[in-house]
Amino acid sequence: MTSREHQRRFESLLREHRRIVFKVAGLYSRSVADREDLVQEISAQLWRSFGRYDEARAKFSTWLYRIALNVAISQARRWPAMDRHEALDAHHLDSIGGEPVAEPDERVEALHAFIGQLDPLNRALILLYLEDRSYSEMAEVLGISETNVATKISRIKQKLRGQMTASSGA
């Protein structure tokens, strides 16, 4: 494959899967400017790594998630601790494919606030879970075992149930 064909293939795959890049960037950014910077950084890292992408080993979307999440998590770790966890607001929902509800639902807002408080790895796990990715794919993307994926999801759900129950006054 010539370098021009290689570049066209990359551009085509990235265009086809760009929604993933925007979801990840939206979930890990603190502002619109941060989101734009993160999209650029993820795209640059994808291009730098594309020569090592092996279709026989992983689907492109799995490979893309892994790189995008690694870049986003690395970026999130560089921010001061007080800036790391932010409730998801309308700009986050737009960028991760959610649709703001005309009349805000308190439970949905509570869920978004909960996700915004998760550490970067668990936030990535929930993103993949909400995308209906298999435990096997989540494990591959995050570099952890399927058992660890199942355990973490179970703990997150338990914590969420506890918060939702506490907030409803039950």
**Cα(first)–Cα(last) distance of the chain, in Å?**
62
Per-residue pLDDT reduced to its tens digit, 44-70: 999 999 999 998 898 999 999 999 999
Is the pLDDT reported for residue 94 higher than 50? no
Q: How confident is the model at residue 170 (pLDDT cuts 50, 70, 90)?
A: low
In angstroms, rounded to a whole number, what is the distance separating the alpha carbons of residues 69 and 141? Answer: 8
Q: What residue spans define the domains of the chain?
A: 3-167
Is the pLDDT reported for residue 147 higher than 70? yes
Crossing angle for the helix pair 18-28 and 3-16, nearest 10 degrees? 60
| pLDDT at res. 164 | 77
Indicate yes or no: pTM above 0.75.
no
Mean pLDDT of 30-48: 93
Residue 104, Cβ neighbours under 10 Å: how many?
Answer: 9
